[in-house]
Amino acid sequence: MDTIRISWPKGAVLFDEIKNFKHDDWNLDKNGFYALLSGSWDNPEKSWKNLKLLYIGQAFDQTLRERIIQDHPAYKCVRDYQKEHSVDIIVKIGFIKESTAERLTQQLYDDVECCLIFCNQPLCNTTCKDSYAGRDLQVLNEGDPAGIKDSCVCSKTNK
């Protein structure tokens, strides 16, 4: 079983601001994983509240900045949820910090994404929710994975 550690930097960015967002801990010009969540900003506490995981995606052969803003069929579900519940849509990003896999390949990214979806069951993802068919994986989410489970274990026997 391969173990993948994903580091999720602290904080979140409004979806509509991701295109031009710049921050030292948030290198959107790399590849990695992202999560779209709904929530509401609590100004007195300076934090996001009532988070609901809506979508998990990944960017392997392009940057997170490029991938996140590309239209995707699941984004209709995200926008519909936003309108229906009058919430903000925020983005979290994660990077592979450590991996026991020999190489970081597209197939590894696909398996990690599928494992995260299978384990967390985001509302708007459609693939990988009913079963997992990738390599045996343990995905450990570190840092600030808000809305995403700290640990996901997936194997081909997960149905």
The pLDDT tens digits for 28-76 are: 889 999 999 999 999 998 888 999 999 999 999 999 999 999 989 999 9
Which of 142, 90, 98, 150 minimizes the C-alpha distance to 119?
150
pLDDT, residue 117, reads 98
Mean pLDDT of the chain: 92
Q: Provide the pLDDT for residue 57.
A: 97
pLDDT category at 159 given cuts 50, 70, 90 is: low
Strands 88-99 and 2-8: antiparallel
The fraction of the chain above a pLDDT of 70, given in percent, is: 97
| Predicted structure pTM score | 0.93
Domains of the chain, by residue range, sit at 2-154
**% pLDDT > 90, the chain:** 75
pLDDT digits 0-9 by tens, 10-28:
888 899 988 888 776 678 8
Query: Backbone phi, then psi, for 134, in 5-degree steps?
Result: -85, -170
